[in-house]
Amino acid sequence: MVRRRPRHSRPSPHRSWMIAAVVVVGVLCVGVVVAVARGFSSAPKVVSAPAQVAPAVQTGQAASAEQTRQPASEATSKPTALKTTTPVQPAAAAVAPLPDFSAKRYLGNPLHTVPNSKHEIALTFDDGPGQDTGRVLEILAEHKIHATFFVVGRRASKLKSAVSDMAAQGHEVGNHTWTHPEPGAVSEADLAKQFDRNQKLITDLTGSTPRFARTRGGKFTDATMANLTDRGLILALWNIHSNDVEPSPSPEQIVKNATAGATSGSIILLHETNPNTVVALPAILKELERKGLHPVTLSQLLADGSRASN
C-alpha cells in the first residue's frame, strides 16, 4: 500500500528560523536605504543659492532687498561716488596754501586798492553762495582765473559743497557775516558774533581760516574795525563797484562799470547772485585781459603789492 503525504505538514523548526532571519535582514536593508535617501534630500544646497542671484545680476533685473545685501564684501567694495558731492571733511587737503603777506600792515584800515608792478587786480564776489555759483566757478576755470568770494554764513551752511568747491579750485573765501544784516540793524556785539560764527563755518569747510571780511554795503564803525582787528581780519572793500545790484543794469552796462576804471591794484566788486553778472562775467574777463590786467585773489594781490592805498 502507498502512503500519501499529508497536505498540511508543519515545517521544521530549523526552516522557520531561517525564514524569519531572512525577513529581518530584508527589513533592515530597506531601512538603511530609506535613511540614506532622506539624508541626501535634507543636505544643504550650497550651490543653488548663488544660482538664484546670478540671473538677476546678469540680466540687469532688480534684485530683492535680501539679494542686494549679500554678499557683504561685494556691497562694501562698490564705490559710493554720491558721498563726495557733499563733502564732510575740509577740502583744503588738496588745496595749495594761499600766499603769505604781512597782515599787520593792513589791519585797522579799510582796504580799497593795492598798487603793484605786476598789473594785477582782485575780482571779488559778494552775497553767495547761490544757484549760479557753479556757473561762476566754471567760467573762472575756463579762463584760469582765481577770485575771492565773500560768502554769507547762512547761505553757505545750506550750500556747503559750493564753498568747498571754491577753495578746492584755488579761490579765496572771505567772511561776509552770517545773515547779511543791514548796517545798524544789529548791535556791534551781535555783528562780531556773526563774524565769529561764519569764520568757524568757512574754516571747517575749506580748512583755511579767512583773512578778509566785508560788511554789507561796505559800511562800518570804529567798533566794527576794532572787532575785526582783534580777530585778525582785514576789512576788504573796493575801489570799483560794478553797480550790479537791484535794479540790475544790463550785462553790457555791468561790463562797462566793472572795467572802465580798472587799473593795476584795483579791487572790483561783483555779486554772483545776480544772473546778469554771470552773463557779463566772460566779457569782463576778456576786457580786463585786453587792458593787460590779470585777476588774482586778495591774498595774492597783497603778497605782490608794494603798498596799500586807501
pLDDT 10s digits, 98-115: 888 888 889 999 999 998
Give me the catalytic one of 112, 126, 146, 244: 126
- What crossing angle do the helices spanning 188-206 and 160-168 adopt, rounded to 10°? 60
pLDDT on residue 89: 41
Residue 23 half-sphere exposure, CB side, CA atoms within 13 Å? 6
With 0.85 as the threshold, say if the pTM is over it: no
The stretch 149-176 carries a mean pLDDT of 98
- 207 three-class SS: coil
Please return the burial class of 86, using the count of CB atoms within 10 Å of its CB with bins 0-12, 13-18 and 19+: exposed
pLDDT on residue 56: 31
Counting DSSP H helices and E strands in the chain, the numbers are 12, 8
pLDDT on residue 26: 57
pLDDT on residue 19: 56
pLDDT per position as a tens digit, 22-32:
555 554 555 54
Residue 21 has pLDDT above 70, yes or no: no
Task: Name which residue leads in pLDDT, 73 or 287.
Answer: 287
| CATH tag, 104-304 | 3.20.20.370
The stretch 269-281 carries a mean pLDDT of 97
Q: Is 271 known to be catalytic?
A: yes
Give me the catalytic one of 222, 230, 271, 294: 271
**Cis before 249 (ω within 30):** no
> Are the C-beta atoms of residues 305 and 115 closer than 8 Å to each other?
yes
Q: How far, in whole angstroms, is CA 154 from its chain's centroid? A: 17
Average pLDDT of the residues of the chain: 78
pLDDT per position as a tens digit, 50-100:
333 333 333 333 333 333 333 333 233 333 333 333 343 444 434 667 888
Three-state secondary structure string covering 229-245: HHCCCEEECCCEECCCC
Radius of gyration (C-alpha) of the chain in whole angstroms? 41
Q: Is 132 known to be catalytic?
A: no
- 240 three-class SS: strand
Percentage of the chain exceeding pLDDT 90: 61
Domain ranges of the chain: 104-304
C-beta neighbour count of 17 within 10 angstroms: 10
pLDDT per position as a tens digit, 235-247:
999 999 999 998 8
